[in-house]
Chains A and B, each alone.
Chain A
Amino acid sequence: MKEDNCGTQNCGCGPMVTIPMENSACREPNQTCGGTADMDLNDEACCGPSNHTVSNPFEKPGYKILPYVKRFHHTDNGTYPVIYNDLKFKDKAGTVFTRFGYNRSHYKVSPGLYCSGAPDENSDVFVSANYKISFDHLRRSLKGLDAWILVIDTMGVNVWCAAGKKTFSTGEISTRIKNVGLDKIVKHRKIVVPQLGAPGVSAREVKKNTGFKVVWGPVYTKDIPKFVENKLKTDNDMRKVTFSMAERTVLVPVEVMLVMKISLIIILALFVISGFGPGIFGIDRMVDRGSLISLFFLSGIFAGAVVTPVFLPFLPGKPFALKGIFAALISTAPLVYFYHGKIAITGLIAMLLVAFAISSYLAMNFTGATPYTSPSGVEKEMRKAIPVQLTSVIIALFLWVFAAF
């Protein structure tokens, strides 16, 4: 960076604290938030060796300033982090990793109060779960708005699931409002809570506990600008959940990762079973037949964990177990085309049954990730489907061993 495009007012290279500056032009100290202490943290400092990390006034021993924190906002009641409204590469990469199940239960934000822009005592307060992806969505949609973000502790779980588990709850919101002293920070008495948190939050009780009125915010954070424009009113469309192909597809990686471990164990077992035949156990036979049945098995996994979520509304039938079977019909079709006539029909049937059963089970398990299946419905379908799935597996294994002779 060039040293000469910085003014001198804050840039003493001497022993005094160096305030990080915008690297293109040295801005005036930010007026709204009280002086130079509100300069952005991540801008490079304007003098000193370029690879030298200049300390900023917010550094504290033992603390680390997180990349999504732009600066700190001082009020009479305390100092609060101001977040970036744009997501950085690191945030996006984090989202991708998390979607693949990596570090999923630790992708959190510390609960407490944050600022978007420079909020004051009249600014709206938005409640968020402390799952980093939820928090990222919220801060992005608050771009250009001066607002408070109250992050509550949901143990790093998103609003919807946390509300179901009652960690996104009346109690947690009430305690958090008191802990941060929200009544001293804002003059009004309302908080915006995402509507999907409603299964865990009784608006009445929050009001009774804290004096704050719950205003239900839109289901999707992307509607927040419109919601704010509407003077904190949701219209019908903002209240509905959707389940588009994109929304379904992002769930695929986690579905796949979740079955990975158990699949490896099952594949091992399939190899072992495949070894039995005339002359008791044959290694060659194990390898040949084991890889064949594993191929069908994987095709079943693909049907249940990938095809079913992505093509959900296009698969016939209402019970997911049935949808899974249709998905497996599709995914195994090329294999059947290739192998029919080349192997005994009993073997082929056995392999298909394995694929159908696993796909049907995984599809049924996907009900947990959809926003429209009722637990009563799921239980009803399971009572019928599980015995069928188990029976198919037993018959399949029997046929498979039989086919070896």
Chain B
Amino acid sequence: MKKFRYLKNVATLKLDQEKCNGCGNCTRVCPHTVFKLENKKAEMIDFDACMECGACALNCPEEALTVTPGVGCAAYIIQTWTGKEVGACC
């Protein structure tokens, strides 16, 4: 997946290491290896690979992770702009 990189510094992903208990859930659910456990704390090793799927935040027991998840196709986003009730796209 390394050859696929999307725009830099846009992901809404945030990690609060203070809250992290080192359970490792985020490393198990992330499909892009964004996290690594280092000294019992999660660390972001590949922030720009995040596609905002929301899996890590949903499965973090300490609410140490936040992200705004969504569906990323243009037709869908245009629909949200125009404020219509939307059927997602995939």
Contact = CB atoms under 8 A, between A and B. Distances in A.
Interface in B18-69: 25, 28-33, 49-55, 58-59, 61, 68-69
B1 A361 contact: no
A219 B31 contact: yes
A367 B74 contact: yes
B3 A372 contact: no
A26 interface: no
B59 A198 contact: yes
Nearest to A170: B58
A222 interface: no
A380 B5 CA distance: 15
Nearest to A379: B77
Contacts of B8: 318
Given A164-B90, A241-B31, A375 B70 contact: yes
Contact of B32 (A165, A240, A381): A240
Contacts of B29: 195, 198, 216
Contact of A161 (B4, B7, B58, B90): B90
Nearest to A201: B58
A318 B7 contact: yes
B17 interface: no
Given A216-B29, A377-B72, A199 B6 contact: no
Contacts of B10: 374, 376-377, 380
A337 B70 CA distance: 43
A198 B74 contact: no
Contacts of B61: 204
Contact of A164 (B59, B71, B74): B71
A369 B76 CA distance: 12
B7 A239 contact: no
A135 B42 CA distance: 34
A371 B51 contact: yes
Contacts of A377: 6-7, 10-11, 72
Contact of A240 (B3, B6, B33, B51): B33
A239 B73 CA distance: 24
Contact of A204 (B52, B59, B73, B77): B59
A378 B32 contact: no
A22 to B, nearest CB: 42
Interface in A93-121: none
Contacts of A54: none
A195 B30 CA distance: 8
Contacts of B88: 161, 164-165
Contact of B59 (A202, A219, A241, A319): A202
A369 B73 contact: yes
Nearest to A200: B58
Q: Which of A366, A368, A373, A376 has its CB near the most chain B CB atoms (within 10 A)?
A: A376
Given A373-B72, A382-B77, 11 more contacts: A164-B88, A199-B58, A234-B28, A240-B1, A242-B1, A243-B4, A372-B5, A372-B32, A372-B49, A375-B52, A380-B10
Interface of B: 1, 3-8, 10-12, 25, 28-33, 49-55, 58-59, 61, 68-78, 88-90
Interface of A: 157, 160-161, 163-165, 195-196, 198-204, 216, 219, 234, 236, 239-243, 312-313, 318-319, 361, 364-382, 386
Give the 7 A-B CB pairs with smallest separation, nearest first. Answer: A368-B73, A198-B55, A375-B70, A198-B29, A375-B72, A377-B7, A161-B90
20 contacts: A164-B70, A195-B55, A199-B53, A203-B25, A204-B61, A239-B28, A239-B30, A241-B32, A313-B4, A367-B73, A367-B74, A372-B5, A372-B32, A372-B51, A373-B51, A374-B51, A375-B72, A376-B70, A378-B72, A380-B10
